[in-house]
Amino acid sequence: MMSHPDDLKAAIACVQLCREIGNSAALRPFTKREVTPGNLKGVELENFIRDSVATYWHQTCTAKMGRDPMSVVDGNLKVYGIENLRIADGSILPRVTTGNTMAPCAIIGERAGEILKADHKL
């Protein structure tokens, strides 16, 4: 993270957008002041961002579902080449989602339940 100059530019743009939204007339009745990062600019804002940046560690796509040679799991969540093993988590996603991974993981879990019920006639 932050290894490329464009990473810092994107982070600064995000802070500026959040400030714009938070300081908008529509939100003014609900806010008192900007708490973090405060009125930082230039190098001070860059340092704040570098010190504050973190990830939520939502790993996905490490055992992707598909039919190509890089795929690990089929459409029934079965691992290719290994009997009686299924994967039902975010690792089967073929691409990183543009939003939080919770919803796709919940759907994968629901689908896994349906598949297992059908396979075991429950």
Catalytic positions:
58
Residue count of the chain, please give it. Answer: 122
Instruction: Name the amino acid, one letter, at 115.
Output: I
**Angle between helices 5-22 and 42-52 in degrees, nearest 10:** 100
- Contact indicator for 79, 72 with CB cutoff of 8 Å: yes
Identify the helix (H) or strand (E) that includes residue 11: helix 5-22
* 3 state SS of 9: helix
Instruction: Tell me how far apart the alpha carbons of residues 74 and 97 are, in angstroms, rounded to a whole number.
Output: 19
Strand partners, 86: 78
